[in-house]
């Protein structure tokens, strides 16, 4: 069985494809001629590419299923401006025939380094209640620590790769630290930090991320905002039950504010928040979350764009074309660049 030598990002029009991929999406459809065919999305650590199976559909229908590793022989072609693999042959691979890390995108940053940075931020917290809570969740709970080093921040859209959630949280905490310094005493820095740490913590269980990222049943039924609030509630009760962990009973108002930061971080009722931000810390956490996720999403979109020249293809999500700066040109000279 040939190893992974071809990657989704590198495939070009008319390339012969002979390589394993992970199936991200698979659906049957019927063509205008009444014949069934399959729509697929294949993925590996470099990105995704669409695929079509026109022949032997019944044979492949049970094999090219989501989460399957498959070896593909076929041809890459560009159809209506989009690359797709027309699959000639497909064979399901066993787990021991593949190297899982070739198929799942991961953060460019080291999980251990990110995690120490996170604990570094926790160590600067002043309020003993807030700090004990942060330590109980982020330092002392082995299951959370393990998940935090692996979880993506989303199924798609932003930080949608291994360790993406931790990258997002650490990035946000850096920004929140600056803003706490900038705005000074009107802002409770410890509360702001807890908002950064915990706003998406429910995603550790809202998403399943061993293979293709998807929502769990708990994620679909409850969602990461309420799941985060439940976690905070449970951790505070556990802390209160352990003698000596807290200097007293956890202040009720602080508890409510921490929960509010989580519940309000989507900013609006129609974006899934049951409460709009009703304190400055909640407003800042919401806006920094929005900023950090958009910067990551647009940066990734620009990086993965394959359109020649200075402008990306149309981003359906943001309904605009983006300008590609020099770092995104990958050695390709801009047609508009002045000649020297
Ligand atoms: Fe969120
Ligand atoms: Fe977030």
Question: Is pLDDT above 70 for 326?
Answer: yes
Number of Cα atoms under 13 Å in the Cβ half of residue 47: 17
Please tell me the distance from the alpha carbon of residue 141 to that of residue 148, in angstroms, as a whole number.
Answer: 11
Token pair belonging to 103: 């198929």
| Segments of 2-153 assigned E as strands | 16-30, 36-44, 47-53, 69-79, 82-92
Question: Is pLDDT above 60 for 257?
Answer: yes
- The percentage of the chain sitting over the pLDDT mark of 90, rounded to a whole number, equals 78
277-325 pLDDT per residue, tens: 999 999 999 999 999 999 999 999 998 888 889 999 999 899 999 999 9
How far, in Å, is the centroid of ligand 1 from the Cα of 62? Answer: 35
| pLDDT confidence band for 331 (50 / 70 / 90) | low
Q: What is the mean pLDDT of residues 181-190?
A: 97
- Output the pLDDT for position 333: 53
- Output the pLDDT for position 37: 95
How far, in Å, is the centroid of ligand 2 from the Cα of 197? Answer: 9
8-102 matches 111-298 in fold? no
Question: Is pLDDT above 60 for 57?
Answer: yes
How far, in Å, is the centroid of ligand 2 from the Cα of 285? Answer: 9
Question: Is pLDDT above 60 for 40?
Answer: yes
Do 314 and 320 form a contact (C-beta atoms < 8 A)? yes
198-247 pLDDT per residue, tens: 999 999 999 999 888 999 999 999 999 999 999 999 999 999 999 999 99
How far, in Å, is the centroid of ligand 2 from the Cα of 240? Answer: 28
Ligand of minimum distance to the alpha carbon of 164: 2
Adjacent-strand bridge partners of 20: 71
- Output the pLDDT for position 145: 98
Token pair belonging to 99: 């190297």
- Output the pLDDT for position 308: 87
How far, in Å, is the centroid of ligand 1 from the Cα of 200? Answer: 5
Question: Is pLDDT above 70 for 337?
Answer: no
How far, in Å, is the centroid of ligand 2 from the Cα of 30? Answer: 39
CATH class held by domain 111-298: mainly alpha
Which residues line ion ligand 1, judged by CB < 5 Å?
Answer: 200
Which residues line ion ligand 2, judged by CB < 5 Å?
Answer: 200, 289
Spatial CB neighbours of 241, under 8 Å, sequence gap ≥ 6? none
- Where do the domains of the chain lie? 8-102, 111-298
How far, in Å, is the centroid of ligand 2 from the Cα of 130? Answer: 20
112-159 pLDDT per residue, tens: 999 999 999 999 999 999 999 999 999 999 999 999 999 999 988 789
Q: What is the mean pLDDT of residues 259-287?
A: 97
- Output the pLDDT for position 5: 87
Q: What is the mean pLDDT of residues 72-96?
A: 91
CATH class held by domain 8-102: mainly beta
How far, in Å, is the centroid of ligand 1 from the Cα of 230? Answer: 15
Residue 78's SS3 state is strand
How far, in Å, is the centroid of ligand 1 from the Cα of 249? Answer: 29
Higher pLDDT, 47 or 251: 251
DSSP H stretches of helix in the chain:
57-61, 111-123, 128-138, 142-148, 164-183, 189-198, 203-206, 217-221, 224-241, 252-263, 280-304
Q: What is the mean pLDDT of residues 63-71?
A: 91
Spatial CB neighbours of 111, under 8 Å, sequence gap ≥ 6? 149, 150, 163, 166
The pLDDT mean for the chain works out to 92
The CA radius of gyration of the chain, in Å to the nearest whole number, is 23
**The model's pTM:** 0.86
- Output the pLDDT for position 323: 96
How far, in Å, is the centroid of ligand 2 from the Cα of 216? Answer: 18
Question: Is pLDDT above 80 for 340?
Answer: no
Q: What is the mean pLDDT of residues 77-84?
A: 87
Ligand of minimum distance to the alpha carbon of 265: 1
Ligand of minimum distance to the alpha carbon of 224: 1
């Amino acid at each position: 069985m040939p190893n992974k030598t071809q990657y989704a990002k590198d495939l070009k029009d008319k390339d012969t494809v002979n390589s394993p991929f992970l199936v991200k999406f698979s659906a049957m459809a019927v063509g205008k001629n009444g014949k069934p065919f399959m729509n697929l999305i294949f993925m590996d650590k470099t990105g995704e590419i669409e695929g079509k199976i026109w022949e032997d559909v019944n044979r492949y229908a049970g094999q090219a299923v989501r989460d399957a590793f498959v070896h593909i022989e076929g041809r890459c072609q560009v159809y209506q401006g989009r690359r797709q693999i027309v699959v000639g042959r497909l064979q399901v691979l066993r787990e021991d025939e593949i190297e899982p890390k070739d198929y799942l995108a991961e953060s460019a940053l080291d999980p251990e380094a990110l995690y120490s940075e996170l604990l570094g931020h926790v160590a600067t917290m002043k309020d003993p209640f807030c700090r004990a809570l942060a330590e109980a969740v982020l330092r002392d709970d082995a299951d959370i620590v393990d998940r935090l080093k692996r979880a993506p921040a989303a199924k798609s859209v932003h930080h949608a790769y291994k360790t993406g959630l931790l990258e997002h949280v650490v990035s946000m905490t850096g920004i929140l630290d600056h803003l706490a310094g900038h705005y000074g005493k009107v802002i409770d820095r410890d509360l702001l930090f807890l908002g950064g740490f915990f706003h998406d913590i429910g995603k550790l269980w809202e998403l399943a991320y061993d293979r293709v990222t998807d929502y769990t049943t708990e994620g679909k039924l409850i969602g990461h905002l309420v799941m985060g609030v439940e976690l905070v509630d449970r951790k505070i009760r556990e802390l209160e039950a352990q003698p000596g962990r807290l200097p007293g009973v956890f202040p009720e108002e602080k508890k409510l504010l921490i929960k509010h930061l989580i519940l309000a971080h989507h900013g609006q009722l129609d974006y899934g928040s049951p409460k709009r931000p009703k304190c400055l810390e909640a407003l800042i956490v919401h806006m920094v979350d929005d900023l950090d996720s958009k910067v990551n999403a647009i940066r990734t979109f620009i990086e993965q764009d394959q359109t020649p020249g200075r402008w990306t293809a149309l981003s359906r999500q943001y309904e605009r074309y983006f300008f590609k700066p020099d770092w995104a040109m990958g050695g390709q000279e801009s047609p508009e660049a002045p000649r020297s």
